[in-house]
Structure 1
């Protein structure tokens, strides 16, 4: 029988074979992900090659060629002007990035306000007047004291904002309203921050009140406070003004060389290019690109190692499943015994191995080892009695410990009712071959993924030549 060409691959068994090696596959996948991810990070972070000073100077000399000293001086002056605009633009842009006010959502601006009444309660011929004639001056004094650095620092500590004082100061105001009202108002990204700022300012007002009263005698009493969320046209206008300013500066910078001659523009552009080369603009690090390369590396690692295992699985001419005995050698399988080869060893996530092993064992109908041995023993005894076999023998081409254990347990189970002779490989052991010639029945025990198909074929051929009845096979997994 040409077993080599009739050996079919069970895809489900191949999947089981791969799953048993999932740790190696995961490790290789992680290595692949790290390698490609590292390559992506290096490629993105690698600085571009900058021209040398000699190359820059040679380019400037070439651009200046043909220009008069006056024309060169004019270009140098405009280049200096461009530098000043760059600094102004950077300051404006930084201000827009740091400003809490300019980064608020104008559709959802939280506002808080606290109102105080200022009075001196003097009696004007039986008429009590509560308005203060000096309310404007009093509000101005409070405003000065409530917008000082000390107050700003208290607000920063209370809110946890790590910004410059100017960005906190622009969020609130202390102003007069009506005849003798003082109003503290603030805006903030959240209502909680509004309440914190108002609370700080109210406490601060109580602290500075004696100082203000010493300069302008009065009484001041809080009458109400309120908090709400609303659209703010002021924020919209401020954001538009910021954008317009940056656009205007860009246009002004772009139009600086408009009145220069063609030769001057070439020199000007070379100066600007060397002062502000495109290469020094920091590239934005792409996290998406990094993740993409990592995933490609993982998939490539899984594919590569899985393909290697598949090729190895397909090319090895060994017993892969119990069905190989039926399909290739037309030999009955008495039973399958599976031992835990890693028993007593702690393996990472061994519960996962146990879970999928049980799923595949259930599909193949594999019983626990003890039960499987009992069923094999019963089958041998029944068939030996039925076929009148009195001198059976069990042999194997494999010397694996699991096979020896299975043979030992089967032999022990049959000992009471049937003397089962034990031999090793009849292909290499002459004593076993002699025993086989005297036997009237044989059981073959072979190990999955170890016993060679060629050896099994020769073993069966030997039994056939000796006229020994093959009672069946025991597959050890």
Structure 2
């Protein structure tokens, strides 16, 4: 029942940034519909003008046969201006359609879309947010950086390596907050994979010396990884925004709690 209530709580600002960050798809959709509508209207206008011209010719012939024929003026429409008007309508329609599709995906995908109220939703501490590593240069990448600055504010100016160090400090505090329970071995786990995840795990292990960290494991998908969980006193989850499923995040936490392993928190990258 709680899951259905959470779906209804949509952050409008996050949704708008979800649209903006997909501006390339919106531009493609907008251009496609503008071309389709413009070409369609251009052709139909030419066809209508041809029919009007034939009607005018028939009327002129009728005037020669009958003297008393009412001469109705025929107005020809400019194909270019009409096509431009419909192209603009197509652009607006393409934008609306793309935003509608993205909105449905945002709500229905079940993926982690925002870090807001993370602790309330998953009953886990959010120990850090690390910006996604830019693997390749994109067309008009400066727009992506500008959107990132708008969304994250001053936090966007912090270098990625520094964000990892900040997360490592938070993890260290979470490890030592309970003086009665000493945590010497920590499993790094999550539901996603990637070279950037391995990089984060290696840097976290390098920043914290007094704790042994495991390689990154997926306890949801691999029975062997789940079996090894009992050899660790604590577990740290690393998930990716826009890819990790909220249902699986809750499930992996539940697996750890059932086995009496201390859940330190989650880092979102």
Shorter-chain TM-score: which interval?
Answer: 0.7 to 0.9
**Distance across 1 between alignment mates of 2:216 and 2:25:** 37
Cα distance per residue 1:11-60 (max 9 Å; x no partner): 22222221121111112112212222222222322210637x9x99xx97
**Rounded Cα–Cα distance in structure 2 between residues aligned with 1:297 and 1:289:** 12
Q: How does 1:202-221 map to 2 (within 5 A)?
A: none
Q: Which runs of 5+ in 2 are unaligned?
A: none
Name stretches of at least 5 consecutive residues in structure 1 with no aligned partner: 64-78, 80-265
Query: Match for 2:193 among 375, 395, 399?
Result: 399
SS at structure 2 position matched to 1:38: helix
1:458 paired to 2:251: yes
Residues 449 and 441 from structure 1, CA distance in 2 versus in 1: closer, same or farther, beyond 3 angstroms?
same
The question of whether the paired residues in 1 share the 8 Å contact of 2:201 and 2:216 is answered with no
Aligned length: 260
Partners in 2 of 1:296 and 1:39 — Cα distance? 12
Partner of 2:39: 38
Residues 96-154 of structure 1 deviation map (CA, whole Å, 9 limit, x = unaligned): xxxxxxxxxxxxxxxxxxxxxxxxxxxxxxxxxxxxxxxxxxxxxxxxxxxxxxxxxxx
- Structure-2 residue corresponding to 1:344: 136
In the alignment, the residues of structure 1 paired with residue 42 and residue 156 of structure 2 have an alpha-carbon distance, to the nearest angstrom, of 50
Specify the SS of the correspondent of 1:339: coil
Aligned partner of 1:96 in structure 2 is: none
Aligned residue number for residue 155 of structure 1: none
Alignment of 1:403-414 (within 5 A): 403-414=197-208
1:398–1:379 CA distance, 2 compared to 1 (3 A): same
Distance in 2 (alpha carbons) for counterparts of 1:361 and 1:45: 51
SS in 2 for 1:361: helix
Instruction: Give the number of the structure whose residues are more often strand, by fraction.
Output: 1
Contact 1:337 1:366 in 2 (8 A): no
RMSD of equivalent CA atoms: 2.9
Q: Distance in 2 between matches of 1:425 and 1:3?
A: 23
Aligned partners of 2:75 and 2:6: how far apart in 1?
A: 63
Kindly name which structure, 1 or 2, has the bigger radius of gyration based on alpha carbons. Answer: 1
Q: What SS class does the counterpart of residue 398 from structure 1 fall into?
A: coil
Q: Confirm or deny: 8 A CA contact 2:42 2:80 kept in the other structure.
A: no
The answer to whether the Cα contact below 8 Å between 2:30 and 2:95 also exists between their aligned partners in 1 is: yes
Deviations 1:74-105 (A, max 9, x none): xxxxx6xxxxxxxxxxxxxxxxxxxxxxxxxx
On the 8 A contact 1:448/1:475 being kept in 2, the answer is: yes
**What is the TM-score with the length of structure 2 in the denominator?**
0.84
